Amino acid sequence: MFRGIAAGAGLRVTGVPVDRDGIRVSGIRSPAVVITPAHQFPMGVTLSSQRRDELVRWAGAHGGLVIEDDYDGEFRFDRRQFGALQALAPDRVVYAGTASKTLAPGMRLAWLVLPRSLVDPVRTQMVRTGWRPPALDQLVFAELLESGAYDKHVRSRRAEYRDRRRRLEEAALPHLAITEQAAGLHVLAMLPPGGPGEAEVIEAAERQSLRLGALGEHWISAGPHPPGLLIGYATPAKHAFGPALEALRVSLGVLDAN
Ligand SMILES: Cc1ncc(COP(=O)(O)O)c(C=O)c1O
């Protein structure tokens, strides 16, 4: 999504390697970087505290801009809480939050915390494009926040999603190794080498009316790359989650057939 937006604005997009600690700061070759620190999309790792410090030092030393996309930071399952990177360098970090994961993507409600120097340019751009945040939705959201209902909702969703993730891991386990991830609303499962690839498993899932994501869509560097699946678990309604897991089990059967 970001790549398309940046490229559409005429910017050159380059990739930065990610390892178990998150983005490799020494690999940044651009003046701005987009990160998803709570749960790197799509690999799922959490940005380590050393890397956070390194990134803040990089931004200070190079006059770099960090765009911190906190898209699903509310959903950590290991009780570790991370403050926003933005607080460490408010002049160098743009913080972006969204209600898409906590409430619904269809609400189109999100927010930015901007370095002071970017407030006017962003406001000007919003005026120029004619885009206005929906006032009524914001007022309802403010009421949810003030009344404590939002916190309560996020807490109950977190418990529900933790349970879903455990059930998903159990359902997938005989076939797939799900990489350890302590946050978010999707998991990454690498496919065994030499067997059916991403497209075959995704097709098998489609036959069960289940949509899975392909890791292959997200690589920036030229391949070949190890195949993997992105499996989201927040979308099905409560009553539909069990049947969705069953559909996943059936779809993963294609891995046995080989
Ligand atoms: C990496 C990432 N950032 C942000 C979002 C949320 O985007 P939006 O607020 O436009 O719904 C998503 C949604 O899936 C995402 O995957």
- In short, whether 100's Cβ falls inside 6 Å of ligand 1 is yes
Q: Which long-range contacts (CB under 8 A, 24 or more apart) does 54-59 make?
A: 54/25, 55/23, 55/25, 55/85, 56/85, 56/88, 56/89, 56/92, 56/93, 58/25, 58/28, 59/89, 59/92, 59/93
Burial class (CB in 10 A: 0-12, 13-18, 19+), 228: buried
Compute the distance from residue 254 Cα to the ligand 1 centre, in Å.
31
Compute the distance from residue 100 Cα to the ligand 1 centre, in Å.
7
Please report the atom of ligand 1 found closest to the CA of residue 109: 9
Instruction: Count Cβ atoms below 10 Å from residue 26 Cβ, excluding itself.
Output: 10
List per-residue pLDDT tens for the chain, 258 residues long.
889 999 999 999 999 999 999 999 999 999 999 999 999 999 999 999 999 999 999 999 999 999 999 999 899 888 677 789 999 999 999 999 999 999 999 999 999 999 999 999 999 999 999 988 889 999 999 999 999 999 999 999 999 999 999 999 998 877 887 877 778 999 999 999 888 999 999 999 999 999 999 999 999 988 899 999 999 999 999 999 999 999 999 999 888 865
Q: How far apart are CA 81 and CA 174, in angstroms?
A: 31
- 85 has which bridge partners? none
Q: How far apart are CA 227 and CA 84, in angstroms?
A: 32
Q: Take residue 80 and report the two structure tokens written for it.
A: 């570790």
- In short, whether 40's Cβ falls inside 6 Å of ligand 1 is no
Confidence (pLDDT) at 1: 81
Confidence (pLDDT) at 256: 83
Compute the distance from residue 194 Cα to the ligand 1 centre, in Å.
32
Please report the atom of ligand 1 found closest to the CA of residue 36: 1
- In short, whether 104's Cβ falls inside 6 Å of ligand 1 is no
Confidence (pLDDT) at 258: 59
